[in-house]
Amino acid sequence: MTTPNTAPEAVGTGMDLLRFATAGSVDDGKSTLIGRLLYDSKAIFEDQLEAVEAVSEGRGYEYTDLALLTDGLRSEREQGITIDVAYRYFATPKRKFIIADTPGHVQYTRNMVTGASTADLGLVLVDARKGLSEQSRRHAVLLSLLRVPHLVLAVNKMDLVDYDEATFTRIHAEFTAFATKLNIPDLTMIPISALKGDNVVSRSENMPWYEGPSLMHHLENVHVASDRDLVSARLPVQYVIRPKSDDFHDFRGYAGQIAGGVMKPGDEVIVLPSGFTSKISSIELFDREIAEAFPPMSVTVRLTDDIDVSRGDMIARVNNAPKPSQDIDAMVCWMTNKPLRQGQKLAVKHTTRTARALVKDIQYRLDINTLHRDSDVGELALNEIGRVRLRTTAPLLCDPYARNRTTGSFILVDEVTGVTVGAGMINDVA
């Protein structure tokens, strides 16, 4: 029996995958840390390392600059900063990882929101010499706002403060006090030196006073399976499969990625927005039937009845279905130069469903440095975040973002250019 706090047994579904986003101020050593993780886990090719060594030598460095492994844009390498979101992939015997290396500058807030929106864990770097900065606090606020369930504060460059315990203790106490204002379910702090490798992959002999795990050990063992909503079954239909072949003459399946809950054959379900009910006859994964499906598995569900189901519909439990709504209250991060204003019309994409939306009201703008709510605001500018009310032309089948990060989020699209101009997190539906 599956319980709300226990993830079902994995059925070869990649449940051993951890997505984490990194953030830090300029020169906190974020790209160096990622380079160190890739290097020590042997996730880079020999020719990549040779190229980085050659560039480092050509610049007169006395060490191999591992940050060059991640700063892929020429402007990033020249300035020594991160601008775009860079995704990196590596694996250890225990787990697979996807790193979203996000920029720290305030003008790239939209890039950080993009990279952290799907993260299971947020990794914020702090320079041990400088302590907490305004950017460090802002990164923590954004990760809290995006409901990233696990946060690691890595106090970097401990080698430059002679591995001083008092320095780490001071930063630890300061950030703990700040974190009480935020919604951070799981907070871990680790003293490291990305350049020297201390506490990155293995425990450091230079910090015997630190009794916690190394960063890699924590990343390999942090439990994320139960972070997802395993109570409210949700399957946004992405594609209706009708082979129309002699072998599968009557086959009708509904393909999509499970966004919440656990689905099993025999479950009574409802299809929204039509309201038709049926039962699940089988669940298929690739070329075999499985006994249950749960997030983030991509499956094909077959029903006992031939009812009208199409892309954009949602399959849910009869007694625990989302409420279709056209009035949406959400926190929106604005991502383009032209401001968001009341009365503006946009396309909204929510799971596999698309509709048009009218901006009814901008209730306030959130100062992510101070958490102050500015209600005297008529627009949201680039990289600003605010609470917005929308009215959609078709009902969205959504949940609050706090309950389900998949069915509780959406993107806003400019209808003329097709460019994504905003990302939203649903507070409530009416």
Q: How far apart are CA 34 and CA 68, in angstroms?
A: 10
Q: Give the list of residues 6+ apart from residue 388 with CB closer than 8 angstroms, or none.
A: 329, 330, 331, 332, 340, 359, 361, 362, 363, 380, 424
Q: Give the list of residues 6+ apart from residue 80 with CB closer than 8 angstroms, or none.
A: 26, 27, 67, 71
Tokens of 23: 């953030």
Q: How far apart are CA 110 and CA 355, in angstroms?
A: 23
pLDDT of residue 45: 66
* pLDDT tens digits in sequence order for the chain, 430 residues long: 333 333 443 334 444 889 999 888 777 777 788 888 887 777 776 777 777 767 767 777 766 666 666 655 334 444 444 445 678 888 888 999 998 887 766 666 778 888 888 899 999 999 999 998 888 888 898 899 999 999 999 999 999 999 999 999 999 999 999 999 888 989 999 999 988 889 998 899 999 999 999 999 999 999 987 888 889 999 999 999 988 776 777 789 999 999 999 999 999 999 999 999 999 999 999 889 999 999 989 999 999 998 999 999 999 999 999 989 999 999 999 999 999 999 999 999 999 999 999 999 999 999 887 888 999 888 999 989 999 999 999 999 999 999 999 999 999 999 999 999 999 999 977 6
Domains, the chain: 8-221 (3.40.50.300), 234-317 (2.40.30.10), 324-429 (2.40.30.10)
pLDDT of residue 311: 95
